[in-house]
A = this chain, B = another copy of it.
């Protein structure tokens, strides 16, 4: 458990209490996350996020968040937002980083700074349909953490490993996830 002097801003007590409560109410652990995308023009779209479902009822973020996506000028587009594939990197980086903070709190390790650089390599011969043996998505993603904390290198590496083990986005990217697409 956390030493009382350590404060990474994560309420581990509340999370452990939630874990106990959900053990007895597994239906409440079923969440649905949502996003609603509207095409604007060309490859430019705007996606809004606010409502979700969990703990047995409708929930919402304090505000509606809006995200623009587009293709860059070198793809003959207008770069009115980042690309869809970069949104995946944001999800991965932020998920692993939040995990590092939560695990550090639980292990009594004070963090001073955490930076994660994420790089995804992609051969665009896939999406352009030049070579059907080339996949559309990333060949490979590399995450590099630089962490300053009151802990040994070994303990810091263990923090990151535990964050990976519990990361939703790491799981979504590294393992197959079923996606069904329909038109109404």
Enumerate chain A interface residues (CB-CB to B < 8 A).
8-11, 14-15, 18-19, 22-23, 26, 29-39, 41-45, 47, 49, 52, 54-55, 59, 61-62, 65, 67, 69-77, 79, 81-98, 100-102, 111, 113-130, 135-147, 153, 156-157, 160, 164, 166-184
Contact = CB atoms under 8 A, between A and B. Distances in A.
B140 A33 contact: no
A120 B180 CA distance: 10
Contacts of A166: 127, 129, 136
A76 B19 CA distance: 12
Contact of A86 (B33, B123, B136): B33
B43 A138 contact: no
Copies in the complex: 2
Given A36-B115, A74-B59, A136 B85 contact: no
A85 B179 contact: no
A91 B61 CA distance: 19
A170 B127 CA distance: 11
